[in-house]
Each structure stands twice: as structure tokens, then as C-alpha cells.
Amino acid sequence: MTTGFITLSDQTKLYYERYGAGKPLIFLHGNNSSGRYFQKQVPFFAQYFDCLIVDTRGHGRSNNYAKELNFRLLAGDLAEVMEQLNLSKASILGFSDGANLAMVFAHIFPEKVDRLILNSGNYRLNGEKWATKIVTQLGYFVFAFLGLFSPAFYRQKNMLGLMIDDLPISTTDLSHITAKTLVIAGTHDLIKTRHTKKIAALLPNSKLVFIDNAGHTAASSHSKFFNHVVYKFLQEK
């Protein structure tokens, strides 16, 4: 196990943990979370892979010197992390906003991606169920106001800001992502089932798996099945 911080070009420091050995597998957490989300994945996958868990900019133990957060910025951060750790290519497992980041990263840096696991991502805001979308948008405006008086609330506003816009990629961009991809979500996810199916349909080299009776956090609630499906996918020829 290795832990530490990667200093980016703007002096932001990203916290990371690294476990195991083998082909690189990067874990990208969701919004307002950290790499700790994958505590039921890392012990399993570290038996077979070089697992890199990163707290993205402004999340977890990573700080942030940028005024606003956006997915292109976070994708550039990940490219810097890979360069500093001498990883030319890796598979990426992204959850929720981490899956969204993985899609943007694969679009901008296709040469750095081996395989993709997209767990409960959405490339359009309308991919979220209406209740989630409303709560997110209301929260953003509340924290934007409170952030005028408190750095902690400003940080919350920045994180929620990632969830109130469409991703900076088009359906054509998605159709040009050629990496072998697993799209996986729960049958009771916060992301609309038809939206998850559309993502899988747009990606030319993808397979789709739904986990029965699972919600948005299937990797935690149904970890044994989730890990088995992802491992099997990564071992496919």
C-alpha cells in the first residue's frame, strides 16, 4: 500500500492510495464523496490489479485552487496523475460523477484508456430522475448563496456544480469511444433506466448489466455481485 499526494500544475494536491500489483485499475468516486466509497472493492481487486484510488479535486482529502470545478479540468487532473505515476494506460472504474468523468476522460485522452466500467453515470442532466434533479438544483443555489459567507459552503456549491449541467460531450463523441466498456447500474437507480440503456447503445464496444433490486450505490449494497461482474469483464479477452 502506498499513500500520498500528487501536486498538480496549479499546486492543487490530490490525495491517492495505491494497492496491489498487475494491470492498472483506477477508481473514481462520485460527487461529494471520496475514494473511501470503494472500501468493498479495493481489497478484492488489489489481489489482481494495481489499484489507484484518487480523491478528485475539491473532494475528500484533496484541495482545490481552481475557482470552479468542471469535468474537463478533472480529466486533465487525472492525466497529470497518470503521468506523474508513470501510468501510460489504465482501466477506469467510475461511479456516478466518477463514471461521468471517465466518459469525458475517454473522449479527451482515448490513448490512456484500456477498459471502462461506467457505474450509474449520466451524460445528460435529464438522465437523472426528477426528484434527484430538483434536489441537486435547489442545493446548488442554496450553497451558492451560503458560499458567499463560508468557504465550506462554497466548496459544496462547487461540487454540486458538476451535477447541474450536461457533460461536455455529444452523442457523437460517445459513439467514438472505442474502449471496451461495461455499463452497470441498479434497477432502482437514481439514473433513469432508459438513459443507462442509451449510454450503452451509444458506446460501440459496450455491454450492459443491471443489478436487480439495487439502487444508486450498488457497489456497496451488492458488492459481491458487483465485484464478480466487473472482475469477469476485466478478464475477458
Amino acid type, 64: N
Architecture category of domain 2-127+167-235 in CATH:
3-Layer(aba) Sandwich (3.40)
- pLDDT surpassing 80 at residue 161: no
Lowest mean pLDDT among 29-33, 113-117, 141-145: 141-145
DSSP β-bridge partners for residue 173: none
Its pTM stands at: 0.93
pLDDT attached to residue 151 = 84
pLDDT per position as a tens digit, 66-81: 988 999 999 999 999 9
SS3 label, residue 215? coil
| Cα dihedral sign, 25-68-165-186 | positive
Structure confidence at residue 145 (pLDDT): 67
| Strand-strand pairing, 90-95 and 23-28 | parallel
What confidence score (pLDDT) does residue 130 get?
Answer: 64
Whole-number pLDDT of residue 77: 98
Q: Where are the domains of the chain?
A: 2-127+167-235
Q: How many other C-beta atoms lie within 10 A of the C-beta of residue 213?
A: 10
Q: Which of 170, 146, 164, 171 is nearest to 156 (CA)?
A: 146
List, for residues 99-130, the tens digit of each pLDDT value.
999 999 999 999 999 999 999 999 988 888 76
Q: Helices in 13-164 by DSSP H: which ranges?
A: 42-45, 71-84, 97-108, 130-146, 151-161
What does the alpha-carbon distance between residue 105 and residue 174 come to, in Å, rounded to a whole number? Answer: 11
pLDDT of residue 129: 76
